[in-house]
């Protein structure tokens, strides 16, 4: 029996909860030639949603290309990953693939196949910056000429701001304006960075993409999904146990999936609150080594601040005297400084609400562990 609660990757829609509205919106955009920018905090389900979209579009006349640029450090890496993603969908043995390959020929690419996955890998040595720009343009032109419409999803897009070459964004912007055949989906987790890339006044073109802010999965629908997934595998879970899962994991997709996965794996025919509690303890134990590493890497002041935020669960006014006194933070300026440092390390998460912002420990399990230990 496979565990129905995935904690990485994507299998098929049976393992996927809800996202009906978001899916409709993405599909509508793709079919109407609108580019989309998909943003959320890490681990809420962006990549999963793209995979789900692709599954739904399988029967439709689109070539679906997905590229994750998380591992890229330079513009050359970006181009390489893009080429590999294209070759995966348009193999070099086909006529169109041959065209693609001849386009790359001047770059003298070396192609090899990963011995385990069998996927094509490519090595290119560039001479100049112009050559890179030219290559990128050539790739986009090729996709523009493709007989089928292309959906090109670029995941972890904020990564381009890390490249030493600062012109990746402007190259894309310049060429994208003329493209008719490609629907882009830009996907990223660093909200501030993505917002900056996409709505900066100096970059009006990017503002023409439609923003889709992915939130948490609807609690009631998640509850139904959890009960059904247990039932499908001949198991039962009580309503109270499901409630506890959703409370404790804050309905935060990855963490909820993890608690469900663990509960399912340690359960017999029936799961109740006690089963869930055991699962939670097991998960915190698994994380402990990493949490203790954090303590070593942070200053005592930062560590103390993390505990403070965890204990409050959610902090809205970080300069409030009550908060500062209760946790020995010192001064409002100190509080701001610590917050900034911990946001940069992505240990704290800033949540934009309609009329306010609030702060939480980014990793839900870490937050639960701090609450338990201190």
Ligand X SMILES: Nc1ncnc2c1ncn2[C@@H]1O[C@H](COP(=O)(O)OP(=O)(O)O)[C@@H](O)[C@H]1O
Nearer to ligand X, 303 or 365 (CB): 365
202: contact with ligand X by CB under 6 A: no
For binding to Mg ion (CB under 5 A), which residues are involved?
46-47
Handedness of CA 194, 303, 341, 326 (dihedral sign): positive
8: contact with ligand X by CB under 6 A: yes
48: contact with ligand X by CB under 6 A: yes
348-352/357-361 β-pairing = antiparallel
Sole binder of ligand X in the list 23, 27, 34, 42 (CB under 6 A): 42
Nearer to Mg ion, 43 or 149 (CB): 43
Sole binder of ligand X in the list 4, 29, 35, 43 (CB under 6 A): 43
Q: How far apart are CA 12 and CA 301, in angstroms?
A: 45
Gyration radius of the chain's alpha carbons: 23
Nearer to ligand X, 17 or 212 (CB): 17
Quote the least distance from Cβ 119 to ligand X, whole Å: 20
Residue 126 and residue 139 in contact, taking contact as beta carbons nearer than 8 Å: no
47: contact with ligand X by CB under 6 A: yes
227: contact with ligand X by CB under 6 A: no
Q: How far apart are CA 195 and CA 301, in angstroms?
A: 30
Nearer to ligand X, 45 or 120 (CB): 45
Quote the least distance from Cβ 280 to ligand X, whole Å: 17
Residue 101: how many other CB atoms lie within 10 Å: 19
Compute φ and ψ for 362, nearest 5 degrees: -60, -50
Per CB under 6 A, the segment of 9-17, 110-118, 137-145, 284-292 that binds ligand X is 9-17
Number of residues that bind ligand X (CB under 6 A): 22
Place of tokens 């770059």: 107
3-state secondary structure of 285: helix
Quote the least distance from Cβ 50 to Mg ion, whole Å: 8
Per CB under 6 A, the segment of 11-19, 122-130, 136-144, 329-337 that binds ligand X is 11-19
16: contact with ligand X by CB under 6 A: yes
Restricting to residues 257-296, which ones interact with ligand X according to CB under 6 A? 257
Handedness of CA 18, 19, 25, 28 (dihedral sign): negative
Q: How far apart are CA 82 and CA 112, in angstroms?
A: 16
Residue 62: how many other CB atoms lie within 10 Å: 16
Q: Spell out a b/e string for 306-338, using b for 16 or more CB atoms within 10 Å of the CB, else e.
A: bbbbbebeebeebeeeebbeebebeeeeebebb
Q: Which helix (H) or strand (E) holds 153?
A: strand 149-155
Beta-carbon contacts of 140 under 8 Å, excluding residues fewer than 6 positions away, are 175, 176, 179, 182
45: contact with ligand X by CB under 6 A: yes
Quote the least distance from Cβ 153 to ligand X, whole Å: 11
Nearer to ligand X, 47 or 367 (CB): 47
Restricting to residues 236-255, which ones interact with ligand X according to CB under 6 A? 253-254
Residue 3 binds which one of ligand X, Mg ion, none, with CB within 5 to 8 A depending on kind? none
Q: How far apart are CA 356 and CA 353, in angstroms?
A: 5
Per CB under 6 A, the segment of 16-24, 270-278, 344-352, 356-364 that binds ligand X is 16-24
223: contact with ligand X by CB under 6 A: no
Per CB under 6 A, the segment of 6-14, 28-36, 241-249, 362-370 that binds ligand X is 6-14
Residues that bind ligand X (CB under 6 A): 6-10, 16-19, 40, 42-48, 189, 217, 253-254, 257
């Amino acid at each position: 029996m496979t565990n129905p609660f995935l904690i990485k990757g994507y299998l098929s829609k049976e393992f996927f909860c809800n996202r009906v509205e978001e899916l409709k919106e993405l599909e509508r955009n793709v079919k109407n030639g609108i580019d989309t920018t998909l943003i959320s905090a890490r681990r809420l389900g962006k990549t999963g949603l793209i995979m789900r979209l692709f599954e739904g579009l399988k029967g439709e006349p689109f070539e679906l290309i997905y590229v994750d640029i998380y591992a890229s450090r330079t513009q050359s890496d970006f181009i390489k990953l893009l080429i590999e993603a294209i070759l995966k969908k348009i193999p070099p043995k086909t006529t169109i693939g041959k065209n693609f390959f001849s386009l790359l020929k001047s770059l003298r690419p070396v192609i090899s196949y990963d011995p385990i996955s069998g996927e094509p890998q490519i090595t290119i040595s560039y001479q100049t910056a112009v050559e890179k720009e030219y290559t990128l343009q050539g790739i986009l032109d090729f996709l523009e000429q493709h007989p089928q419409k292309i959906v090109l999803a670029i995941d972890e897009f904020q990564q381009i701001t890390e490249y030493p070459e600062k012109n990746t964004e402007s190259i894309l912007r310049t060429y994208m304006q003329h493209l008719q055949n490609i629907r882009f989906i830009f996907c990223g987790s660093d909200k501030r960075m993505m917002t900056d890339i996409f709505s900066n006044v100096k970059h009006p073109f990017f503002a023409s993409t439609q923003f889709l802010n992915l939130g948490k999965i609807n609690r009631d629908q998640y509850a139904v999904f959890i009960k059904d997934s247990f039932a499908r595998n001949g198991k039962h879970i009580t309503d109270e146990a499901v409630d506890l899962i959703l409370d404790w994991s804050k309905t935060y997709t990855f963490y909820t999936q993890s608690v469900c996965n663990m509960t399912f794996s340690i359960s017999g025919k029936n799961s109740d609150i006690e089963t869930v509690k055991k699962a939670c303890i097991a998960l915190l134990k698994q994380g402990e080594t990493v949490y203790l590493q954090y303590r070593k890497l942070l200053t005592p002041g930062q560590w103390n601040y993390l505990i403070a935020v965890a204990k409050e669960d959610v902090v809205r006014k970080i300069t409030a005297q009550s908060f500062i006194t209760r946790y020995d933070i010192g001064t409002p300026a100190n509080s701001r400084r610590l917050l900034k440092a911990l946001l940069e390390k992505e240990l704290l998460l800033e949540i934009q609400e309609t009329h306010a912002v609030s702060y939480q420990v980014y990793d839900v399990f870490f937050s639960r562990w701090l609450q338990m230990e201190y």
